[in-house]
Amino acid sequence: MAEEGKNELEKRIIEVFDAFDHAGEKTVDVREVGTLIRSLGCCPSELDLQEIIAEVEDKEASGSVTLEKFLQCMVRLVEENKLQPAEPEELLKAFQMLDPEKRGYITKEEMTKYMLEEGEPFTQEEVDEMMGVAVDSETGNIPYEYYINQLMVSKELYQLKRDAVEKVEARPSRKSFRDPLLRRSIQGSGTF
């Protein structure tokens, strides 16, 4: 990733981290890591979260995470395109599978059942948080196309990465960078 884009990515991660750093000591409580990561527009599974926490938790001050370790981990994960939210088309297909009558909505009760009993179960707190945003107050149902649009608002970190790549590709390149074989090998390496 271009240095300029990486700096923007790092700035955004630091900005969100600082919002959770209540004491101003460049550390956050390990219990806030999931919320912090989701605030960045990333979508980790519980397994992803456990692996990230194991990587970033301060071994000397158990229960805390330093900015330095968190920043390194998150930049790497974004550069590797990990934890990206699903595309709107994928979400729509998933909701449509849950709506065989093609009503355009799912009832709150149906969705709660799916979230608590199917696949990787959500916590009741996560279900309540989702329902607070997804459920239409007039009908009590989840109009899923509207909800998907709400979810798509924050893919910001990954957009910063794409913008940086586009800037590099749009720049007048050095001679060696114009070599198609070199360019393909660099792109294939995950650097871009």
Superfamily classification of domain 88-151 = EF-hand (1.10.238.10)
What angle do the packed helices 144-151 and 124-134 form, to 10 degrees?
110
Residues 183, 133: Cα–Cα separation, whole Å = 44
What six digits make up the tokens of 182? 């070199």
SS3 137: coil
CATH topology of domain 3-84+154-175: Recoverin; domain 1 (1.10.238)
What single DSSP character describes residue 32? Answer: G
Q: Give the domain ranges of the chain.
A: 3-84+154-175, 88-151
- DSSP letters, 84-125, are PPPPHHHHHHHHHHT-TT--SEEEHHHHHHHHHHSSSPPPHH
Give the confidence band of 54 by pLDDT, cuts at 50, 70, 90: very high
For residue 5, count other CB atoms closer than 10 A to its CB: 20
Identical fold for domains 3-84+154-175 and 88-151, yes or no, is yes
Q: What is the pLDDT of residue 83?
A: 85
Q: Give 62-90 pLDDT, tens digit per residue.
A: 899 999 999 999 999 988 888 887 888 99
Q: Give 110-121 pLDDT, tens digit per residue.
A: 999 998 988 877
Give the confidence band of 50 by pLDDT, cuts at 50, 70, 90: very high
